[in-house]
Amino acid sequence: MTDPTSEKFISDAVNSYSDTVFRVAYSYAKNRCDAEDILQEVFLQLIKTRPDICGEQLKAWLIRVTINKSKDFLRSYKRRTAAMRGMRPHEEPKEYDDVFEALSKLSERDRNAIYLHYYEGYTAREIAGMLGESERAVAKRVSRARIKLKDFLKEV
């Protein structure tokens, strides 16, 4: 196990998990610039905290921190102020594929469960631990979200 106080620990984490962190952040922020800002915040938190974990535990920790930082970002003053003025910060061209658009229609909890299960390959038990829900609730959430996605994709 790499020593969490070493620079190698940080560089290994960035190399291994930055894509995952970016995808989770992007699912919240809906644009590249803001997702990159969140990614930086997450890895700054890793540098400050340096948890004594590795592998899947570190990945789960990073995903949880990303979700929290993304929620903080969405609540931020800058974001609310821009929304009140009818602007979208760092607005990007609408080049979203149908699946991403359908995912964005899901509730945050459903989107997190689907993402963790299908994109990251976590089991219902592992997701339950990350999200603080029961394993059965997560399994039901994934099943229901899959049905919703199917319905959304039929509309497109």
- In the chain, what are the domain boundaries? 1-94, 96-156
Residues 75-90, mean pLDDT to the nearest whole number: 57
Phi and psi angles of residue 6, each rounded to the nearest 5 degrees, phi first: -90, 155
Contact in structure between 118 and 145 (CB atoms under 8 Å):
no
Q: Rounded to an integer, what distance in angstroms lies between the CA atom of residue 64 and that of residue 24?
A: 10
A 10 A CB-CB count for 88 gives 12
Query: 147 pLDDT exceeds 80?
Result: yes
151, containing H or E segment: helix 135-155
Contact, 90 vs 135, CB < 8 A?
no
* The domain made up of 96-156 is a member of CATH 1.10.10.10: yes
Fold for 1-94, please state it. Rna Polymerase Sigma Factor; Chain: A (1.10.1740)
pTM over 0.75: no
